[in-house]
Structure 1
């Protein structure tokens, strides 16, 4: 009795609840919109087809396995299946795609310099031919209740939509990590095959003998049912990917789309996808939406500067790179900045660095923090100057504070500049912004102190020591063991300073714009968790290096713990001080 409803109670609803709990703290407004959008399309497109199958007796349900209410002869349990399958598969695709910046996978097949884009062209045409044939050929075979009717109807129903989605999203489907395209198809498909096997064996639903091929994937699982669940999950994941494709274009090309609605209309999404398939691309690395892109571009700038300056083979060459970066900033922040001047400022840099630097969102940033960042690199280089042993750059705690301000407080300020620039509400008062910028700079210093405590040994190997020289008492350094104890004591001291600053400033996160609040929480808590792990190990008398399998002697947090901390933080958990 009521076997079909029991299928949902036992097999589908628990998975939907589990995914909702896991994904809930990570969901954005766009994610919710995408889920609802795909639900509407899936249900609207499937109901007429499913109703036809039932009315023509291609498949049927014994009266005693369903509750009773129907929609166009479709049992309520069946309609619910459309809804919950779409929900489960979409949630899984969203969850697995959280770490991916979709805009970095956009290409232009018409650009001769975009080798990846051009290499995808044959696959695009092959897919178009295959799905076009699958859409047309089944219409010319069979009729009535001939053998294979069910398979023919599945292919004819799904192929036109697969063709459209392939045209709109083939680039992402071919280039995104398999964990975001294949896995969210394969996992629910395999699970639903098992559920379907149980249902067919119990007689919850059945396929008419004359309309099926009589082929089984395994006992009780008809080939038609296996293909149906595979194709429906493909439709869901491909539709979700096409949605992501459209949103990535909206985010990545503000010149073409100055305003991005919080919930773009289906017509706008179709226009974007149609236009993109002809011309848009993103040549290099690109939170959510445009903010996420600009934050990654800022990070890329800092990464390039760190690599070129810090890894320079000599102090002279490092100083040269600092000058090149300073000239580049002079140019992009000049009122007379034009393409020719920018090209000249970029000329000394390697090609890969140029492709990143030219994307720096300088129109949304203040120049002073970027110049201060270069001052931090200059402090680093002083460790290698003559006489640095007697006169190191970090002699006092004030020197350490200044260094942390240059390399970390500046980053906090720059990130908040981008957050306020992209704030869709623009509701923050001037006083709130000042408070948050001050707290952001303090938090940046706190995180840099965690970094310094973590990297004491690796820094020492390259001749750097960020522990203030005035803290050391030469009389206590009579042996390596005594020196190690002294260094450990100073690491504890810096770590406690970091936690004190964190405790004093973390509440300011709640005054940030709502759309960026969770992302900042996760970024801060993930880094502070390194400090918590080190503090735990100090209390237990364990070595601080290789925590969680860190590389190059650096302490790190195990991946499972990082994921757990990130999830709890998004759910509103506040880290310990």
Structure 2
């Protein structure tokens, strides 16, 4: 005999625990709202419905197999309402989190086609629901199946109204999110029915079996409820995406969903989500969507590593980090495009400086309120990244952005790194500034999600300082790894000239692309000097990660761990490789075990490879962001 509680202990709770464990590093306020809201709705609606069908003896349970009966339903059944909801929503979160929901907001349908796609399925759902209501006659073969349909169809009609087009665009991940939990729960149901834990009445069902001991109505129940849960997950994701993208817009469309930037209650958030839920795709301003897509193309083409690594961050953080990256990459390309004369590149960088000064002076958070005519000479993708970057104005400090532009100027003017002071200053420009901006983005994007985000100015300043130190750690490691590559491809020396021989022989070798002639031992000694400087800063810099929102800490630690692995690889290498890097599989494993806090399982980080074909290198700013 298999008791109902044993069904949970053996089959449902372990799977739920595993899913929640897998999702734990990515758990954020958005997921919390899904779990709380959907669990509440599922429980409050399923309780009367299930009591109703048990009262009419659609299914029954073995009295010896349950712990307690409340009303007409066992305690374990009430538990099942919550377990199934949490299980399906957690699985859907894991399946669908790898692509930004914002990418599915733009509609290319005409108003007529969009209306048909929106309202015809709604009409069908409501028609089926009404027919099912009248067909749900107790003690008839259609009773159980009809009760399922009138229970779910009105909900499906409502969810389709708010997210139908979005669901269609995500049909692959939606299908997987529905089918896998449905198949698993059908199997569990089959086991329980075979063991006699509960029984489906033959009087109120069609007696058709999908598989041995699996009635058609039971399979339909799990399928329809999972459709509702996954559709609801999509609807919440879509509403959050609209709120985040248009939160400070001033167009007619975005004014409809304007909401306060201050701390909101749960019900205040739900009200904002309801407003966004009711908007159709055709009511949204497409310019921010187009610009975001362009910025993401810059990210995807410029750095597969960064694009993949960003997926471990919460959706809002990932989107804003992508916008920040695209701005850095687009502006870096302006400074680094060798096909454009130096004087023209300097003029373009001056335009960028003017844009930043104007942006932070007029304090505009909406791209539509900015006069773009002075910047039309810049490339189209650069302008798109600028329009997206405007939304980060209230998050960032102008000094950090100007500092980054100073780094571009340093490279464009080919200024040498004369001494350790220059090394630190250059690294601050190209890396510490980025670390500061990333930290401010993470803190702001998740300001409602954990208590860690509510901090005084002194603590925030301390955290930013640690981020700037981490920027130095990563940049020193980056320079140590790329001495030969920078020499061969850029004819640049980012080592302090005071570290090299006074007779300038070593300087000339590096600047003429012949750094390899210094010999492995000399190159290794120079690289390890940089790695040691990075190690000296690392322990203090790492302390700042604990002040970040919890759901962002794993991703930051993973990125830092990969760079530390590069430093360890350089220390363990025999000689000096052309360009040391950790193998792809090992980099992925380091990221996974760091995100899930299983550092003790890390493989040896001594793998060094020398690519036979190297991708063209650009400035150190680009390298820092890409790698």
Confirm or deny: 8 A CA contact 1:521 1:569 kept in the other structure. no
Question: What do residues 69-126 of structure 1 show as CA deviations (whole Å, max 9, x unaligned)?
Answer: 223311112111111111112222334444444344333x5xxxx6699986553344
Structure 1 residue aligned with 2:564, among 527, 531, 544?
A: 531
- What SS is found at the alignment partner of 1:147? coil
Structure 2 residue 274 is the aligned partner of structure 1 residue 270: yes
Deviation at 1:14, TM superposition (A): 1.2
Structure 2 residue 326 is the aligned partner of structure 1 residue 300: yes
Once the two structures are overlaid, the 10-residue window that deviates more, 314-323 or 343-352, is: 314-323
> For the residues of structure 2 that align with 1:152 and 1:132, how far apart are their CA atoms?
13
Question: What do residues 335-384 of structure 1 show as CA deviations (whole Å, max 9, x unaligned)?
Answer: 4989686311331233333232123222443222222212212233345x
Give TM-score scaled by structure 2 length: 0.77
Deviation at 1:469, TM superposition (A): 4.2
Structure 2 residue aligned with 1:173, among 161, 167, 184?
A: 167
Confirm or deny: 8 A CA contact 2:474 2:563 kept in the other structure. no
Structure 2 residue 37 is the aligned partner of structure 1 residue 37: yes
- What SS is found at the alignment partner of 1:209? coil
Distance 1:58 1:419, change over 3 A: closer
- What SS is found at the alignment partner of 1:399? helix
> For the residues of structure 1 that align with 2:462 and 2:271, how far apart are their CA atoms?
41
- What SS is found at the alignment partner of 1:182? helix
Structure 2 residue 77 is the aligned partner of structure 1 residue 78: yes
- What SS is found at the alignment partner of 2:283? coil
Structure 2 residue aligned with 1:156, among 150, 161, 170?
A: 150
> For the residues of structure 1 that align with 2:158 and 2:48, how far apart are their CA atoms?
19
Cα RMSD, aligned residues only = 3.6
**Corresponding residue for 2:292?**
285
Deviation at 1:502, TM superposition (A): 1.5
**Corresponding residue for 2:375?**
346
- What SS is found at the alignment partner of 1:217? strand
Once the two structures are overlaid, the 10-residue window that deviates more, 372-381 or 273-282, is: 273-282
Distance 1:264 1:103, change over 3 A: farther
> For the residues of structure 1 that align with 2:381 and 2:260, how far apart are their CA atoms?
28
**Corresponding residue for 2:405?**
374
- What SS is found at the alignment partner of 2:238? helix
Distance 1:412 1:342, change over 3 A: farther
Deviation at 1:427, TM superposition (A): 5.6
Confirm or deny: 8 A CA contact 1:30 1:262 kept in the other structure. no
Deviation at 1:45, TM superposition (A): 1.2
Question: What do residues 215-245 of structure 1 show as CA deviations (whole Å, max 9, x unaligned)?
Answer: 3333332222222112211212222222233
Structure 1 residue aligned with 2:495, among 467, 472, 481?
A: 467
Mark the runs of 5 or more structure 1 residues left unpaired by the alignment.
384-391, 551-555
Confirm or deny: 8 A CA contact 1:30 1:263 kept in the other structure. no
Distance 1:414 1:122, change over 3 A: same
**Corresponding residue for 1:232?**
225
Distance 1:339 1:183, change over 3 A: closer
- What SS is found at the alignment partner of 1:60? strand
Structure 2 residue 195 is the aligned partner of structure 1 residue 202: yes
> For the residues of structure 2 that align with 1:565 and 1:123, how far apart are their CA atoms?
44
**Corresponding residue for 1:448?**
475
> For the residues of structure 2 that align with 1:79 and 1:433, how far apart are their CA atoms?
45
- What SS is found at the alignment partner of 2:206? coil
Confirm or deny: 8 A CA contact 1:328 1:342 kept in the other structure. no
Distance 1:331 1:538, change over 3 A: same
The count of residues paired between Structure 1 and Structure 2 equals: 550
**Corresponding residue for 1:12?**
12
Confirm or deny: 8 A CA contact 1:167 1:277 kept in the other structure. no
Structure 1 residue aligned with 2:354, among 315, 327, 330?
A: 327
Give TM-score scaled by structure 1 length: 0.83
Confirm or deny: 8 A CA contact 1:168 1:277 kept in the other structure. no
> For the residues of structure 1 that align with 2:410 and 2:319, how far apart are their CA atoms?
30
